Amino acid sequence: MEKTKVRVRFAPSPTGLMHLGNVRTALMNYLFAKQKDGTFVLRIEDTDPERNFDPEAKTIISDLQWLGIHYNEGPTIGGAFGPYFQSKRAKIYKENLDILIKEKKVYRCFCTAEELEKKRQRQIAMKMPPRYDRTCQKLTDGEIQKKLDSNAPFIWRMELDHNEKITINDITHGSITFDLKNFSDFPLTRQNGTFTFMFANFIDDMVMQMSHVFRGEDHLSNTAGQAALYKAFGKSLPMFWHMPILCNIEGKKLSKRDFGFSIRDLEKSGYLPEAICNYLAIIGGSFEQEIMSMEELAKTLVFEKNHAKGQIKYDVEKLKWINHKWIAKYDNEKLANACLPFLVQDYPEAEKIDKKKLHHIIEILKPGLVTLNDIKREMQFYFAAPHVKKIEVLALEDEQTIAKVAPLIEKHIGLIEQPEKFVSTLKNESKAQNIKIKDVFSLIRIGLMGSSKGPGIGELLDILGVEESKKRLVTLLNELKSLS
């Protein structure tokens, strides 16, 4: 028996910016296809023109490219099952609806929205599950014709067999059996003749021959109806994975109020695409090696075993840690290119820094970067000399220490033109005078960059240059003298 070719899809609606939940769904589909040597399809569910934020899905496509999630079929690249925009597939939906009409597996429903709402409220009041009562399924041919003659609007409903049970296979939940008596005959069309998400989504999955359907757990309730549709067409069901919903630390579903909900927010805040994908792939799981590339993730993830159910928590601190690790993996040139747009936001003159010098500076400052945006803080001293007042120095160093250290620095400041000799001389003499070298270096850092902590003294002198370094230290020493 020939093994089924793996075909998976990501089917977003272009109604807003891509958020973490979308990205995780796209990512897991992509990694699964990559692992199984399958096909990853991008399909755009754009049947609601009034809400289409991104009509040609350019933002979605751009975000996927930035993240390194590459589809094999879809908009702009085509494929054997196009078009890949639902708005262009109405003919396909109509042809398949006609099959169901011909086989009498659907019926016209003439109930108005007001009538349906009244029935629903009545059922709720009677503590009954709100479900369509099949009023229109009981209409005679004559009654139907009469309504049609009067141009009464209608929708097509799927007629479920309430004596039937349908079982699906789900990676997380295992076998799930739906008793169809607990489900309504659901709409396949709207009164304006367009097709519902439920029907269009199913037809696309069936016609595009999806072998697996990975989507959020919030779609689980749709699956019974879609499984019934697969049976109505005599088709085998795909394997499902209803993935856990991403929640914030408090356990509430992620929303626009949560930092990082939007991928664009993360990009603007200096998170790397590799780190975002790495984090979203391992969240909710346990891995010996947590920092992994796309290739490593595709080899490592075990899709066939049960996964976390219900919800998984999005932890910004863990994402920061992974981002920091990925920054460390970048070579200096690549990291400098990634950091430069952030630097230029605050320091336009950064564009003029010699490339090799910038790469060298980045190499020195890399350990302090958690996000790319941190380069602004880490390199601030390069663009502007600190205006350090003695009172600020005293907040970092005690007066007795300053009284011993400042003269030592002043005595040897002439050696600064030979950075190695300057540093070694200070080490030797501080030892001879029983002064802690860390106190000496702390005061020098305060003068050079306004902070007692930072890169090595030799590295700072290298970054700033001898002339600028000497100028800054002289300014500090004069400030300390003026208030002594």
pLDDT tens digits, one per residue of 14-72: 887 788 989 999 999 999 999 999 999 999 998 776 676 777 889 999 999 999 999 99
| Confidence bin at 255 (pLDDT 50/70/90) | confident
Closest CA to 375 of 352, 399, 341: 341
User: Each residue of 268-286: pLDDT tens digit?
Assistant: 999 999 999 999 999 988 8
Average pLDDT of span 182-188 = 95
Cα 60 to Cα 101: distance, rounded to the nearest angstrom: 36
Compute the average pLDDT of residues 149-172.
95
Q: Which CATH class is domain 263-382?
A: mainly alpha
* Integer Cα distance of 149 and 169 in angstroms: 45
Structure tokens at 134: 């099949």
Once rounded to an integer, what is the mean pLDDT over residues 232-240?
96
Query: Band of the pLDDT at 421, cuts 50, 70, 90?
Result: very high
Nearest CA-CA partner of 66 in 267, 310, 346: 267
For residue 234, give both structure tokens.
């005599």
What local confidence, expressed as pLDDT, does residue 245 receive?
A: 87
What is the token pair recorded at 295? 């290739």
Q: Write down the H helix ranges in 103-244.
A: 113-125, 141-149, 197-207, 220-232
Q: Which of 32, 16, 15, 7 is nearest to 298 (CA)?
A: 32
pLDDT in tens, 376-398: 999 999 999 988 777 667 766 77
pLDDT attached to residue 385? 92
Domain 386-482 architecture = Orthogonal Bundle (1.10)
* The CATH number of the domain covering residues in 92-182: 3.90.800.10
Residues of the chain with pLDDT > 70, as a percent, come to 96
Mean pLDDT of all residues in 221-245: 94
Looking at the domain that runs over 7-81+196-247, which CATH code has it been given?
Answer: 3.40.50.620
pLDDT value for 254: 78
- 39-42 and 7-10 beta bridge pairing: parallel
Among 201-210, 302-311, 331-340, the range scoring the smallest mean pLDDT is: 302-311
How is the chain split into domains, by residue range? 7-81+196-247, 92-182, 263-382, 386-482
Mean pLDDT of the chain: 91
For β-strands 239-243 and 7-10, DSSP reports them as: unpaired
Res. 172 pLDDT band, cuts 50 70 90: confident
Count CA atoms closer than 13 A to 272's CA, side-chain side.
27
* pLDDT of 313: 87
2 pLDDT exceeds 50? no
| Residue of 41, 117, 46 lying closest to 76 (CA atoms) | 41
